[in-house]
Structure 1
Amino acid sequence: MPSVRQIARRIRSVENTAKITKAMAMIAASKLRRSQDAATQGRSYAENMGHMVSNAMSQLQEDENSQELSQYRDLASVGLVLITPDRGLTGGLNSNVLRAAGDFIGQQAVPVKVVAMGKKGIDYSRRNGLQTIAEFTGIGDRPTSAETFPMAESMITAFEEHEVDSVHVAYARFVNTTLQRATIEQLVPVVPVEVSQSGNAGYIYEPDVNTVLSELLPRYVQTVIHHSVLEANASEQSARMVAMNQATDNANAMVDDLTLVMNKLRQETITKELLDIVGGVSAVEG
């Protein structure tokens, strides 16, 4: 049985831990609003660009399509852009993304080559012996297009040089503060979304559709990857805020339990001393 002093020391230690986790939760909460706004605003931009690509590609006949990024070919290897945080303390976020990536890799009948962003994804790739095309760390809490475009360029180059035959991206999609969904999407070959015939009316491309797509498709891939980084960043901040709040609540509950144990032990000690005094007095009087 630990002494009262040992329990009191442990209570102070847990209280200090609770202060740290509360501070981390407050920091994550302050970053979450900015990250959430960036992710939700960028979502509509990426979706509209996807509709623009679909409109342009719908006007191409199959024999007229000369776009490398939209061509399907036999798979000899698959590329995966793996987007993870640099840091932990995010609850189950990292494990969920890495588990989804592992399931995707396990389903492939050909080798998978990785562009890894974040220390967690890099460690996962090295630990599982995956071939890495490029590694990116230190993107920060305010990712810019200048920081994310090299990721897209490395995969576009790998696809154009036939180093990989398709490209997918794995990231945590921000749904709300308490829910982040591990997502894997195909990037290349670019798959146009369904567009109704009425949606195609009124578009005239100059000088021609292929020339427009040659500029638009690489930018579309860059935009999707940049938006995926924004989604992953918002997911990281929300997951960390929730995890640190839960850790603070658990620490406070532990302090309450330890305080109860310490009070019981102190009461037992006092009762035992009183009984010794009463017994001594009775012996003297007898």
Structure 2
Amino acid sequence: MAASLQDIQRRIASTKKTRQITSAMQMVSTAKLSQIQRHGGSYTTYANALHDVVAHLANAHINNVSGTLLEQRDVKKVGFLVISSDRGLVGGYNSTLLKGMMAVIEERQLTPDQVVILAVGGNASDFFKKRGFNVAYEYRGVSDVPTFNEVREIVKTVTTMYDNEVFDELSVAYQHFVSRIQNDLRLEKMLPVTTDDMEPTEEGGLKADYEMDPSPEQILGVVLPQYAESLVYGAILDAKTAEHAASANAMSSATDNAKEVINTLELQFNRARQSAITTEITEITGGMAALD
């Protein structure tokens, strides 16, 4: 019985240490979530302004533009920019994303030879490599609060591969942050840039009928890569926000589970100790009775 009590005590101590770790990780993830939400709020203003510029240019001169990221072509290979996390301990964040991607590929009846994967995050890269897909690009180690300069390398590679016809269209897949307890899988077409339904976000904005110098082709040649950068950067910010929320929730659940385990073990320990004390009292009483 003594050995049993010692075993329970060791399990209680071990679980308490685990609870301390998960509780600390929860606080860290919550702090990162608050930080990236503040950062994302200021970025949204820039993204909306850039969206308006592209919308005005496209609506005014779309028929005169060629040789840009707006150009449509026959789709022979489909690219997917998949944004996952590098690490685990984020609940179902990665599994939901990757299962959703496989469902999209199956729904579109695409074979691995028709798919080009560009992975941001180690989980996506490892997942698709194991299943025989062409992972043409991978980027690991995205910052907890990504900077715009980090994304430029990714976008430069993506646009170069698109220009070289490594793939003919590109969609970005990631977990969209809805709230601290909910993320939704989002799949958005990135290339070629589609402006058919693009409308300015601002109310009472500029009309599309105006003259430009230099030519609209030159302006779009500069603006469109920046717009592509904003799409990818926005997706990565959104995905990282969802990742921090998922991590905070997973660590919160782990902490709560640890508390329940500790309570159960402490109850088990008290019962075992009470049983041991009762046994000792019974033995002493029996010994005294034998002496009498």
TM-score, structure 1 length as denominator?
0.92
Match of 1:217 among 211, 224, 229: 224
Which residues in structure 2 correspond to 1:52-63 (within 5 Å)? Answer: 52-62=53-63
Q: What is the alpha-carbon distance in structure 2 between the residues aligned to residue 264 and residue 169 of structure 1? A: 56
Report deviation, 1:41: 2.7
Contact 1:113 1:164 in 2 (8 A): yes
Which residue number corresponds to residue 93 of structure 1?
Answer: 93
Which residue number corresponds to residue 166 of structure 2?
Answer: 163
Q: How many residues align?
A: 284
Structure 1 window deviating more from structure 2 (17-26 vs 207-216): it is 207-216
Deviation track 1:16-54 (CA, whole Å, cap 9, x = no partner) reads: 101111111111122221111122332343233223212
- Unaligned 5+ residue runs, structure 2? none
Percent of residue pairs identical: 31
SS state of the match for residue 70, structure 1? coil
Structure 1 window deviating more from structure 2 (246-255 vs 135-144): it is 135-144
Report deviation, 1:248: 1.0
TM-score, structure 2 length as denominator?
0.90
Which residue number corresponds to residue 267 of structure 1?
Answer: 274
Report deviation, 1:106: 2.0
SS state of the match for residue 162, structure 1? coil
Which residue number corresponds to residue 252 of structure 1?
Answer: 259
1:173/1:41 CA distance change after superposition, 3 Å: farther
SS state of the match for residue 191, structure 1? coil
Which residue number corresponds to residue 190 of structure 1?
Answer: 193
Report deviation, 1:203: 4.3
Structure 1 window deviating more from structure 2 (3-12 vs 201-210): it is 201-210
Contact 2:32 2:145 in 1 (8 A): no
Structure 1 window deviating more from structure 2 (1-10 vs 161-170): it is 1-10
Contact 1:115 1:151 in 2 (8 A): no
Which residue number corresponds to residue 72 of structure 1?
Answer: 72
Q: What is the alpha-carbon distance in structure 1 between the residues aligned to residue 284 and residue 9 of structure 2? A: 26
Report deviation, 1:61: 5.0
Which residue number corresponds to residue 113 of structure 1?
Answer: 116
C-alpha RMSD of matched pairs (Å): 2.1
Q: What is the alpha-carbon distance in structure 2 between the residues aligned to residue 182 and residue 271 of structure 1? A: 58
Deviation track 1:123-157 (CA, whole Å, cap 9, x = no partner) reads: 11211211122111122223222211121122211
- Unaligned 5+ residue runs, structure 1? none
Report deviation, 1:191: 1.4
Report deviation, 1:200: 5.6
Report deviation, 1:60: 2.3
Q: What is the alpha-carbon distance in structure 2 between the residues aligned to residue 90 and residue 229 of structure 1? A: 16
Which residue number corresponds to residue 235 of structure 2?
Answer: 228
Q: What is the alpha-carbon distance in structure 2 between the residues aligned to residue 227 and residue 123 of structure 1? A: 24
Contact 2:65 2:216 in 1 (8 A): no
Which residue number corresponds to residue 82 of structure 2?
Answer: 82
SS state of the match for residue 60, structure 1? helix
Q: Which runs of 4+ in 1 moved over 4 A?
A: none
Amino acid at match of 2:59: S
Q: What is the alpha-carbon distance in structure 2 between the residues aligned to residue 103 and residue 134 of structure 1? A: 21
